């Protein structure tokens, strides 16, 4: 029926009605909070490129994880900044490495918090790439197959420390299968894999790379991260990762790739995860005139990402939004 019998504004007339008929609902249960751990300096260090975010040493990060869980956020995604870097990224798979130490401390402090660990080499290698670089080549050439062994070792080491979920972000071909095989051989059949399945070579990663000091020394990551122009290729990447044993699929960044999230939701039954990355966070922080506007922008963008089809949302706004989302529900 047309106007005047049909009036769409009837269901928008006040806050209670709007909440009552809302079709897409955000809750703290959907959120994952990224955290950064480092050996030195001790304590908490502000990250200039990510206002409101910090690098923590081990003791403070365990306390922060406890505070995150108390807000109703069920999971964290842990990134490490090592003491030293070398050609092979050896601290990444050292059982006494910074991430492994932090995982043990967090699991002891907050047993029920889901601990997801980033599995990659970029933070740990002297050359800043996500895999093993062939030093005999004049050009930067990341050796895909040699990298798989190292990535599997990282995942197993994280599982030994107590990680519930490992999240390979390197975009090497065959990494999910290699990690699944490595975990299963070591008896970690219950450790899940959250694959950065469609990780695009994006300009939105700048603040993160400063935070973990992972910018490539030479070259770029276009030979392994995805071309932002390709949607069918993204679906193929996700399909392959599921075949190799991925339990969850991630799309990264989030807001510029809502179409990819929607296509993935239509195609696959696996949980879809979207990462609202550092550049997205920094844009909102820099454009908001005050805290209320910042919260409104964060909620609107995350609602759009969830509406597109993402089940789980990784966001630096998780800690700030969780109390507000709780109040909305209660």
Annotated catalytic residues are 199, 252
* Integer Cα distance of 152 and 150 in angstroms: 5
Name residue 142's beta-bridge partners: 133
Angle between helical axes of 98-109 and 58-70 (0-180°, round to 10): 40
| CA of residue 64 relative to chain centroid, distance | 18
Answer yes or no: are the C-beta atoms of 267 and 236 closer than 8 Å. no
Answer yes or no: are the C-beta atoms of 272 and 289 closer than 8 Å. no
* Integer Cα distance of 117 and 111 in angstroms: 15
Q: State whether residue 15 is helix, strand or coil.
A: helix
Residue 54's contacts (CB-CB under 8 Å, 6 or more residues apart) are 36, 44, 45, 46, 47, 64
Torsion of CA 240, 241, 246, 248, to 10 degrees: -110
* Integer Cα distance of 39 and 209 in angstroms: 18
């Amino acid at each position: 029926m047309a106007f005047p019998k049909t009036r769409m504004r009837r269901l928008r007339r006040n806050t209670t009605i709007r909440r009552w008929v809302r079709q897409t609902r955000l809750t703290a249960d959907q959120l994952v909070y990224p955290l950064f751990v480092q050996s030195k300096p001790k304590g908490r260090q502000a990250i200039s490129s990510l206002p409101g975010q910090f690098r923590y040493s081990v003791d403070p990060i365990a306390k922060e994880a406890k505070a995150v869980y108390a807000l109703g956020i069920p999971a964290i995604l842990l990134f490490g900044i090592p003491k030293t870097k070398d050609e092979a990224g050896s601290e990444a798979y050292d059982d006494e490495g910074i991430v492994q130490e932090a995982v043990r401390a967090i699991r002891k402090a907050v047993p029920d918090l889901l601990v997801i660990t980033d599995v990659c080499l970029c933070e740990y290698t002297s050359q800043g790439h996500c895999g093993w670089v062939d030093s005999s080549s004049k050009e930067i050439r990341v050796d895909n197959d040699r990298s798989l062994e190292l990535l599997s070792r990282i995942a197993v080491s994280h599982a030994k420390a107590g990680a519930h979920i490992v999240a390979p972000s390197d975009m090497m071909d065959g990494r999910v299968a290699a990690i699944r095989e490595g975990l299963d051989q070591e008896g970690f059949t219950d450790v899940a894999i959250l694959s950065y399945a469609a990780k695009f070579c994006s300009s939105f990663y700048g603040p993160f790379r400063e935070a973990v000091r992972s910018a490539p020394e030479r070259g770029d990551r276009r030979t392994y991260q995805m071309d932002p122009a390709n949607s069918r290729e993204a679906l193929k990447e996700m399909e392959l990762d599921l075949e190799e044993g991925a339990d969850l699929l991630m799309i990264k960044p989030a807001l510029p790739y809502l179409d990819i999230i929607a296509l993935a939701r239509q195609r696959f039954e696996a949980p879809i995860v979207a990462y609202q990355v550092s550049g997205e966070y920094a844009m909102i922080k820099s454009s908001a005139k005050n805290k209320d506007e910042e919260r409104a922008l964060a909620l609107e963008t995350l609602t759009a990402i969830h509406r597109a089809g993402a089940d789980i949302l990784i966001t630096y706004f998780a800690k700030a939004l969780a109390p507000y989302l709780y109040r909305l529900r209660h």
